Amino acid sequence: MEMHHRFSDQVKQWSRRSGTGFPVNNWPEKGSVEYYSLLASHDIAIRRRSLSSSGGSLTFSDGNATFRISSLGFLHYTTVTVGTPGMKFLVALDTGSDLFWVPCHCAECASTDDSTYSSDFELSIYDPDGSSTSKNVTCNSELCPFNNGCNGTSIHCPYHVSYVSSETSTSGILLEDILHLRPLDEYQDFMKAYVPFGCGQVQTGSFLDIAAPNGLFGLGFDKVSVPSTLFREGYVADSFSMCFGKDGTGRINFGDKGSLDQEESPFNINSFHPTYNVNVTQVRVGTLVLNSEFSALFDSGTSFTYLADPFYTMLSDSFHLQIRDLQRPPDLRVPFEYCYVMSPNTSTSLIPAISLTMDGGGQLVVQDPIIVISTLHEFAYCLAVVKSQELNIIGQNFMTGYRFVFDRERLVLGWKKFDCYDVEDSDASGPRSVNYASGPNNITQSYELNRNTAQHLAAPSLYRYNGFDPVHSLLILLIFAFQ
């Protein structure tokens, strides 16, 4: 068997005769920069195809850990490295939007000094001129969907994304630069992938003070998103997973297709603007079964769950009917309608469990349906569901304790109980919000919350919270001050 180098004279003759393969008139000279560049790019392409076909997963070079940060809106954040030399950004992870953006050439961005978070987090500002690998996305690029103001020849693709909530928005220009990644296989080298992202020059609303001050990492379906880019360029399969740990830590992995024993439900795809919507066919609240169907977006960019009527009223009324504790009077500063006082004369409060049955039969048992609040005088807890005007959103609190797989190839959502520490045992030890007290057939399941547990879990008596959904304009500014 004869073997020939890719750019040998023999291969050149074959290419001339067949008219296929690398163009003969552009044949690189041996030893030239172009010669080695073409060989390197060919090797990289082969490695990409090998990684994608083998089911390998990628994550950020700084690791796949995510963290729920209370001082930054209770969203899940992770550190990403962009550019050459690499700059680190603390970005919020959002399955409800598409664009990855960071502050850049700022005319109006969140302050990096004298802010509520400057002492805890070092925030960066991206400088295109300071990165040797930065590229402009031009108006005529297929990656330029935000073409208002483009004349077709401009070297800059402007963008403006309005998140509506409390006049929250970001605008600037689209760029491409290297996103530093690594395979989960520790024996493989680090990788660099060119991805499109927003050079966010002007931020407004929540981006200026409490939510995602150092950037937002959109994980949606659009071609401009990072998951779409990694699949399009052959790095990984068209899927990713996010794990939401009970202790506030989590994991994110690109290319993760989940496991054979996970629950699954098909996405309810809107062809005009596809999102991670799933049909809910049944809701169980304690001993009550609610046979009502609705569609809901699984959105990591929303801390709590939002339901529109009649579903909100059906769920909250069923929850209220099974509570023994005294309901607190309404408080305009709190968006939760159903809050209760833990009686000092009782050792436990029995809280009805909530579970959702999805299209396809998969069941999601909610691990964390309440939020606990402490004051100088008492403990209180609230059903952490907010009434929405029209949109149904499953927020992070309903996803706690699970690994969710957003399989964009098969168009299904998968989920499985997971502790987020790379252990498949759903009963692994770790911080827990509540203890289970199960009844027959899992229908009368309830949570048992005692005052000792509440003391460990409670929010401080003066607590600022910003539940932020950048896509669907559902903004909460919450002060827990029960005095």
The pairing of beta strand 294-298 with beta strand 393-394 = parallel
Alpha-carbon gap, residue 370 to 397, rounded angstroms = 8
238 is annotated as an active-site residue: no
Neighbours of 285 (CB within 10 A): 24
Cα–Cα distance for residue pair 373/91, rounded to 1 Å: 27
CA torsion sign for 29, 33, 36, 40 is: negative
d(CA 123, CA 131): 17
Sign of the C-alpha dihedral computed for residues 435, 440, 443 and 444 taken in this order: negative
Catalytic, 94? Answer yes
Identify the DSSP state of 238: S
Cβ atoms of 245 and 125 within 8 Å: the answer is no
* Token reading at 231: 């699949």
**135 three-state secondary structure:** strand
H or E segment at 398?
Answer: helix 396-399
- Exactly one of 94, 98, 368, 407 is catalytic; which is it? 94
Q: Which of 256, 299, 368, 469 is catalytic?
A: 299
Query: Which residue pairs from 113-117 have beta carbons closer than 8 angstroms and sit at least 24 positions apart in sequence?
Result: 115/209, 115/213, 116/71, 116/209, 116/210, 117/71, 117/72, 117/213
**Among the listed residues 366, 394, 404, 373, the one whose alpha carbon sits nearest the alpha carbon of residue 304:** 394
**Residue positions annotated with a catalytic role:** 94, 299
